[in-house]
Amino acid sequence: MSEREGTWNVARYLIHRLDQLGIGCLFGVPGNHLGPFLEVLAAERDAGRARLAWVGTPTEMGAGYAADGYARIHGIGAAAVTYSVGAFSLLNSVGGAYVEEVPLVAINATPTFEQWLNFREVGLMTSHMSPRFESNLEVYRQVTVDAQVITNSRLAPRQIDGALAACLAERRPVYLEVMEDTWKGPCAGPEGTIAPLPRASSPKLLAAAVEAAVEKIGASRRPIFWAGEETDRQRLADGLQALIEATALPFCTTIGAKSVLSENHPQFHGVYNGKASLPEVRRMFKEVADLRIGLGAWSTSKNLGGDVALGEDWIMAAHEGVSVGAKFFPKVQLGDFLRALRERLAAGQAHRAARSDYYQLGASGGLALPRSRQAFLASLASLRDAGPERPATGLTYDSFFARIDAFLEAATQGGGVEATNPYFVVSDAAFALLGSQNLRMVERQSYFAQNSWLAIGYSVGAVTGLKSARPTRRALVFVGDGSFQEICQELSTHTRLRHDSVIFVLNNQDFYGIEQMLVHPCYYAGQEAEAYYNLLHPWSYARLAEVFGSAATPMTGIVVADEDGLEQALRMIGDPAQPANRGPLLVHVRLQRQDYPAAIGYAVRDNCPPS
Ligand SMILES: Cc1ncc(C[n+]2csc(CCOP(=O)(O)OP(=O)(O)O)c2C)c(N)n1
């Protein structure tokens, strides 16, 4: 054994690499197989050789969401669990990160190599083993871009470096399975750093794609951009803004790319997601514009919201290729496409006519995004021409989010694209997402949601990582009651870390509202009964503060049942002197079971004509 080998082992090697990547938090749930790794971690920290901190979470799913949230801001995150029982629980979170293109490292600590040999040779199983020999590896292969099993410590450096390089290059999760007795096995020390090595575009296909796009844009009168999730995940905000400003054309975003640029940008024209968009956004995108240019936008059902046809009047650059109408150009990286398109469009005249046309239309009215609370509500109301009358008093989804919008606006400092805001938003799926999608987020990367995978409960787990990666801002989390029930234990991590996140639990009287809407929408038009399986067991959500808080780590829970209550809650949140702001604050918001955000009103209108 060389002298260098003697000072390194697999655990130390991996810790060093994670540290080099600037990962500050390793989220997870331990098990005996992970013990040696965590011992080395403590020793490395004590010796001042590592900053990586272990953050124990009550659930593996929560750890995975936290790592995902951390990665969305920091660029890469990590979670560590124990074999099978932990790994299978983590799987859903890693599946989400895979689909949403979030790079994270899933570390799975397994029984010893000796136990594996006993199993392989004579069938002797130990705890957590399945008779399917490589069950953990097999399932993780489905949701990662590299999956390694480390059984020989001397091979570990290559395996670890290869996996981490794949994680950065492919921007998706990787999996490292390490046997318990391998953690402290000797290996060579790390050399250099792990560089991101993304694939290059084909120069020929890039040029052809740009040529076809420029021709199509030149032939259109009014093109519009639609910035999508890849502009955020690939950190292309600057290139996107440069293209948008060079062309002076308006742009919308998907929800998944919401706040990739400041929503104060003068060319921003709202979040487009089909029939769920604000009416003026959809009109601009679908009717006024005659060409839609998707930039890293995914054609998921959530993004298209019931508008399904992509045809000749679309350009879509995503997933390493560009479609210009029916023509497809593979091997084109989005960053290269943005740059090359900007160079061509800035040099040409293609967009001029469109720009003046848009200005004329804007001047003739009807296309501006609503700014005031009243205008916002009026705009939403125009989406809602079916369903029962709203309650005369009390909160509705729409009035709640309009009030939150005003709250955010009042907290904004400065103006234009340089404006800042002390809050960022994390939205869960379902009505929370539909309600929060039009909040005006003035700062880049200040709105987060798992918009494609859509696992309910994501927000409450993810905010742990988001807040850890961005400690200077306060999180406002919007989560439905059913979604919250999936993940409530993770409040414990918020409390433990003394995070000051505000969790708004939107309780529509103990109901899976969106499920009702998707399967039996006519309930909302008073024509059907609620489905029994959408009824939740009621909880006293605010009292969870007693469960998860302590004198040293306070947490507060309150109930808000009407507009006055919401005003009081927002005053409390905005007042730094309030003791409730020293830790997490859970706001249990009472809404009506029959209520729904106007954005999903199309499901009622399209399916339930008045009888
Ligand atoms: C992990 C997971 N399980 C189940 C679902 C299916 N699902 C989607 S939305 C939803 C209901 C959410 O209910 P709630 O949080 O109360 O919000 P609401 O629909 O009332 O707005 C369910 C069960 C899912 N998306 N993710």
pLDDT in tens, 69-99: 999 999 999 999 999 999 999 999 999 999 9
Q: Which atom of ligand 1 is nearest to the CA of 508?
A: 20
Residue type, 303: N
Q: In what order do the strands lie in the sheet with 104-110?
A: 53-56, 25-28, 77-82, 104-110, 174-179, 147-150
Separation between Cα atoms, residue 261 and residue 338, nearest integer Å? 15
Does the model's pTM come out above 0.85?
A: yes
Q: Does residue 142 have a pLDDT over 50?
A: yes
Structure tokens at 76: 């890469």
192, burial (CB in 10 Å: exposed 0-12, middle 13-18, buried 19+): exposed
Reported as a single tens digit per residue, the pLDDT across 544-598 is 999 999 999 999 999 999 999 999 999 999 999 999 999 999 999 999 999 999 9
Q: Is the Cβ atom of 478 under 6 angstroms away from ligand 1? A: no
The alpha carbon of 439 and the centre of ligand 1 are apart by a number of angstroms equal to: 21
Q: Does residue 259 have a pLDDT over 80?
A: yes
The DSSP line for 49-102 is S---EEEE-S-HHHHHHHHHHHHHHHS-EEEEEETTHHHHHHHHHHHHHHHHT-
Separation between Cα atoms, residue 274 and residue 332, nearest integer Å? 27
CB 429 within 8 A of CB 481: no
Q: Which atom of ligand 1 is nearest to the CA of 428?
A: 15
The alpha carbon of 432 and the centre of ligand 1 are apart by a number of angstroms equal to: 10
Report how far Cα 91 is from the mean position of its chain's Cα atoms: 17
CB 33 within 8 A of CB 109: yes
DSSP H helices, 412-558, are 431-436, 458-469, 481-485, 491-496, 513-519, 544-548
Report which protein residue has its CA nearest ligand 1's atom 26.
455
Q: Is the Cβ atom of 597 under 6 angstroms away from ligand 1? A: no
Q: What is the DSSP letter of 309?
A: -
Q: How confident is the model at residue 3 (pLDDT cuts 50, 70, 90)?
A: very low
CB 139 within 8 A of CB 133: no
Q: Looking at beta carbons, which pairs linking 564-568 to residues 24 or more positions away fall under 8 Å?
A: 566/395, 566/400, 566/403
Residue type, 277: S
Q: Is the Cβ atom of 213 under 6 angstroms away from ligand 1? A: no
Mutation test residue for ligand 1: of 59, 456, 530, the one with most atoms within 8 Å of CB: 456
Give the other-Cβ count within 10 Å of 425's Cβ. 22
The alpha carbon of 515 and the centre of ligand 1 are apart by a number of angstroms equal to: 7
Closest CA to 34 of 8, 60, 16, 7: 60
Reported as a single tens digit per residue, the pLDDT across 307-341 is 776 788 999 999 999 999 999 999 999 999 999 99
Q: Does residue 360 have a pLDDT over 60?
A: no
